[in-house]
Structure 1
Amino acid sequence: MKNEEIQLASRPEGLPDEHTFRFVSTEMPAPKENEILVKSLYLSVDPYMRGRMREGKSYAAPYSIDQVITGGVVGEVVESKSSNFQKGDIVTGMLNWARYQTVQEGIVQKVNPSLAPISTNLGVLGMPGATAYFGLMDIGQPKEGETVVVSGAAGAVGMLVGQIAKIQGARVVGIAGSQEKIDYLVNELNFDVAINYKDADFKSKLADACSNGVDVYFENVGGEISDEVFKHLNTHARIPVCGAISSYNNKELDLGPRVQTILIKNRALMKGFLVSDYANRFPEGIKQLAAWIMAGKLKYEETIIDGFENTPEAFLGLFKGTNLGKLLVKVADPSQSS
């Protein structure tokens, strides 16, 4: 029986394309002592992975050419030589983009399939959920009655940020890129206002929505959208910087208005962060997120692309804004129900 994996074929200049990825057939691996054989069920595609396709120093090591790409995976143990796992266990971890792989027992964590759909371990109960929770609560610190603006508001992180801010009693303004997303944010997630950044009158709509200024700006996109939001910052505003997806595929250095004067004038805090900064507090965050879901206070969405062969297409969809909520690739169904 053959296995299959996806390798980085070349470093993209600008937007990745079909030449960026390579599908490779490999021999089916066999677990050694203290290892397990994992069948991939869901793969996570995330914006940060674009940065790892570049050479050079960053917060995560770059992918190597002709080597398999790694990311968040939920999988099923199909063979175990570890006393800590048995066949049929559902696990998650940072693993290869491969249909099957062997991993050391300490690399993955067990998932309880009875708590929530297993895919949520790559979304609301995984890295995106923790990113939203800690970025907003630790850096943003929203207070009742404050205005919180979220860019990329219909994405996996953004939609959770907005809802958590509402739970804290804040007024929430979401920025997204389609009428479908705008309607969803307002009608389903109860955002106070949602604005399409593609609208010709985006600037005036933002000014109207932020007539009392912006106390917290959760930054996911960068670029001209954020330049406009900065104009409305209140004194002592807080800006958690999670991402800047608008510039990830730029061939040249992204240039824009300098923010120093704005930050000084408003005594504002702008702080970049990585979700790994909060690794030792993950259980706290995931427990709270799960409690909000159970209480009906927190909704989530998943856009699931079916088929391992469609993984590159799904990844490219991140930069076209095609997804609502967390974007995943479904590789296979579990062999047995747990």
Structure 2
Amino acid sequence: MKDKNLPIQGLKVTLHKRPNGMPKESDFQVSNFQVKGPKDGEILVETHYLSADPFQRMRLNAFSGYGKTISLGDTIKGRIAGKVIISKNPKFQKGDFVEGMLGWKTHAISDGSQIRAEYAPGVTQIDKKIAPIPAWLGILGFPGITAYFSLIETGKLEKGNTVLVSAAAGAVGSIVGQIAKIYNCKVIGITGSDKKVKHLIDNLGFTYALNYNKGNISKSIKSFAPGGVDIFIDNTGGPIADEVYLNLNLNARVVLVGNISQNNQSSEIQRKDLQNMIMRNRATVSGFIVYDFEDRANEARKKISKWIKEKKIKYDQTIEVGIDNAPRALISMLKGGNIGKQLIRLPISIKENT
């Protein structure tokens, strides 16, 4: 069946230039496109929220050691949440809300499948009775699922552990810390400002937090955890992570979740001799990819939803408005300007109060 154009002009964000180091707004372009109707088995989704995530930075390069990159002129790959406005798939009704990796545009086609790895156009149906729509891009989306499985499964969390997480005020780190507190753990967060340090301790219940821009990181960790760190959830990599390795406990578990400190560097940063530190402490270092747990996503959602209902977990959102401001939101997030999940809310969401 031939694609049928609809009387709708959409907007999309595309890659205009490859960034050198930290992206600039001029590396992106917002342009119009003709919205097409869905084929049999497909749905047309009108976007209400765009998600800005650290993985997107790596995909802007010509080459990446993690997943596919995009070409110049391509739509920026990213998660969205939106409403089904036309359905030719019996599993979806007009008015349903879904989220998926459908790209930064105001209107997107999905095949309605649940296949989500890489850039697959599958979606998850949103249940607004469980949580509001934007939460499905954050705490009930892949950030929350990452926090849950990286800590409990890969990190082999045990009650009473000392848990340290970097990028602690972000979408993943803030949930990691709160889950650890539920398990009666000592929780240390590394973040980038005094405001975030205060937020982690006063609002999210972290035992300790430190600003990596102030003082000696290793000495601060040692004062908080003289017995060493049992689990390190590493969202940043780089020199900050190296300081944590100096404070690992015997048989510590290190889970490599992100590398955001390295993604914006134009040249390679010299690292410490991590191999010696790992051997000395008999530590286990594991890479983590959330898609490995895709089939168990609802397991994490069920548990996290229960904790939200019991008021054991809070979640934060930093929201920019308008697709024109999506590049600015991404850059701000990469610079640490967000607390919790960074989202971009589109005008239709405001109009329909979603």
- In 2: Cα distance, 1:96 partner to 1:180 partner: 32
Aligned to 2:34: 27
TM-score normalised per structure 1? 0.96
Length, aligned pairs only: 338
Which one of the candidate residues 63, 85, 89 is aligned to 2:70?
63
Q: Is the CA contact (8 Å cut-off) linking 1:88 and 1:336 kept in structure 2? A: no
Is 1:314 paired with 2:321? Answer: no
2:164 matched to 1:149? yes
Of 78, 89, 92, which aligns to 2:96? Answer: 89
Preserved contact between residue 49 and residue 80 of structure 2 (Cα < 8 Å): yes
Give the Cα separation in 2 of the matches to 1:198 and 1:116.
Answer: 35
Task: Provide the residue aligned with 1:113 in structure 2.
Answer: 128
CA contact (8 A) 2:58 2:66 kept: no
Whether the aligned pair in 2 keeps the contact of 1:207 and 1:232 (CA below 8 Å) is: yes
SS state of the match for residue 19, structure 1? Answer: helix
Comparing 56-65 with 19-28, which one deviates more in the overlay?
56-65
Corresponding position of 1:178? 193
* CA spacing shift, 1:309–1:57, aligned 2, 3 Å: closer
Instruction: Indicate the residue corresponding to 1:333 in structure 2.
Output: 349
2:197 is paired with a residue whose SS is helix
**Aligned-pair CA distance for 1:79:** 1.7
The runs of 5 or more residues in structure 2 that have no matched partner are 1-7, 114-121
Q: Which residue of structure 2 lines up, in the alignment, with residue 74 of structure 1?
A: 81
- Equivalent pairs: percent with the same residue? 38
Q: Is the 8 A contact 2:102 2:109 kept in 1?
A: no
CA–CA distance in structure 2, aligned partners of residues 180 and 94 of structure 1: 32
Q: Which moved more, 1:256-265 or 1:1-10?
A: 1-10
Counterpart residue identity of residue 53, structure 2: D
SS at match of 1:105: coil
After TM superposition, the structure 1 stretch with the greater mean CA deviation from structure 2, 218-227 or 42-51, is 218-227
1:135-160: per-residue Cα shift (whole Å, max 9, x none)? 01112122222211111110000011
Structure 2 counterpart of 1:162 = 177
Deviation of 1:82 after TM superposition, in Å, equals 2.2
Q: Which runs of 5+ in 1 are unaligned?
A: none
Contact kept, 8 Å, 1:142 with 1:170, in 2: the verdict is: no
C-alpha RMSD over aligned residues = 1.6
1:4 paired to 2:11: yes
**Which among 17, 30, 33 is matched to residue 24 of structure 2?**
17
CA distance in 2, matches of 1:144, 1:83: 45
Aligned to 2:251: 236
Q: Separation in 1 of the partners of 2:351 and 2:309?
A: 27
Superposed CA offset, 1:256-305 (max 9, x none): 11211111111100111100111121111111111111111111111111
User: What is the CA-CA distance between 1:249 and the residue it aligns to?
Assistant: 0.8
